[in-house]
Structure 1
Amino acid sequence: MKYKIIIISLFIGLILFQACKRKEVAELPPEINFNKKQELKINEQNEQNLKQINPAEKKHIINLNNEVILNQLPATVYGTNTSQLSFRVNGFIYSILAKNGQYVKKGQVIAKLDNSIFSEQLKLAQYNLEQAKNSEKFALLSLKRTQTLNQKQATTQIALEQAESNYLNSQIAVKLADTQLKIAQINFNDTSLIAPFSGYIFNLTSWIGNYVSATSPIVTLASLENLQIQLLIPQTIENNFKVGQKFPFKSTNQKNKGIFTITNIIPYIDQNNKSYLIIGVPSNTEKQLMSGELILIQLK
């Protein structure tokens, strides 16, 4: 009987031990499984981020150790000589003869206004000048005739003075009409927007039929002369750049190549870190670079 009690007690103890063990295992937090899922999620996100990076930019990515792969860095071309062009008279745009990104030569017509009103004003000014000249000729003949009569004492001194005054007024009228004609001619010419220098067109803001006011800019012209290149670099690679140093560059479309010479290095500090603004000038002998273009500075 005692043996049966002992065996039953051992059996019950074994059952309780197994139950406690299963409960302990069940209560363990699945930290290992959670970390694996989290790591997998992070890796997937990193892969997605890498896919979104332009292939041309992968060569200058800063890695987790804050090290830069010094192959190439992106930079932007800026035009130091740019001009906002506008008409000098009000009117409706009749035609646009250039487009954004187009290269134009000095003296080339970029746009025209409807010049019908200015054409009529020009014709009227021409007519007024012709009439003023005819009046001047008549006043001169009248003056000469009066002078002859005065010499013969066949007219009064008052009549002579009046003839002289009429001739003087006719001369003034001719000069005034000539000035008005020149103004009308200028206004007529100003209905054409002409490039003051050679360069590239951008920021074209108006189109055919738009009404524009005098001095309101409708387009920007960037000169090919005195171009400037700028790029921002982290402090970790600042020692790789010196004033006067030269680097080859190429445009992202592979069409333009040249040499970039550093002219200035300026510290650039914000709330997060310290960077440096590198400024320099490009060789642009083929006159192909334009303001706003993205290029790649070749460091190796």
Structure 2
Amino acid sequence: MSIDVLIVDDDRGAGEEYARLVRRESGLDVTFTVSPNEALDLVRADLVKVAVLDQRIGATKGTDLFRQICEIDSRVRAVMFTGLASASEVGEALRQGYAEYLRKGDVAQLGAVVLAQYHRYQVEAASALLEHSPVTVLARKHGIPPWRRSVNYRLQRIEIVDENYTADNEWVTIASLQAGEVTKVTRTDSLKKSVTLERESQSKLATDLGLKPYELQSLSLALKGEISARVKSASTVELTSSVTEERTYQLPPEPSDPNQLHTKSRRIERAPVYNRIKVTLLSTCECCNLTAIVPVMLSQATGAMATRHVDVLSDGTVRAVDTGAERTN
């Protein structure tokens, strides 16, 4: 039996609903309990990656339960999910090592928060193994005998550097409005969920290390395969998710007073959201034993689209306003 996520709350009805929500949003294995003792038994069985803890669990505090969990397994990532915690309790929880705090009023975000923490758990566990047993992802021979050299590139570490990354060149305008205008937009999202080696990293590897196109392709495929095998939530399978939606956008008319600051025009824009993953490679020359650290950046599509509107104000000011993210799957 495997449990990816454990939810502990003394309200059985609410807790079971939270578990269904996380299961539906993340696809992870989720278990709910009202019992702190049962929660500790599950952790002892080495089954739990993410714990979602209320701060009031009967007579037990969530922070006290988390401290006991850490004594058993310090790798567990915890989310304080409560509507009753005071500011001092939230501060104590974060100092104690909680990964995140979420109010119950923001329950719609719970699935995304849990999935992000599960992903971090997977990445940290993979990196811990790689530090002891680096894996060769590219074996390269170059030069002309007798000066021919063999260089091995080994995967040594994986870490997440940004969970909400959007590329500047991927923002797309889906609607444009002038003051007083109403427009209706029908859009279809088609997003491939995959891990890709970023272009800047490809260029750097080609320039600094002299990797040829076929070597870059071989390295990229090897990295995708290793990350897919070691990080369950970082699927490299290119599954396309398509969603069609109709939405109406409206911009208020210009005010009667022309001197009043107002929005003259607006662009509605969207862009894919990625996890940015930094991979550390260790290159070793088998001839002279020289070593070097090679950082590589990869992007993993999350299945979400960031949204924003870009306004041109009556005084000529241009203002971009982040309007959140939308799931496409």
Same fold (TM over 0.5): no
Q: Which has the higher contact order (CA 8 A, sep 6+)?
A: 1
- Larger strand share, 1 or 2: 2
TM-score (normalised: structure 1) = 0.20
- Larger helix share, 1 or 2: 1
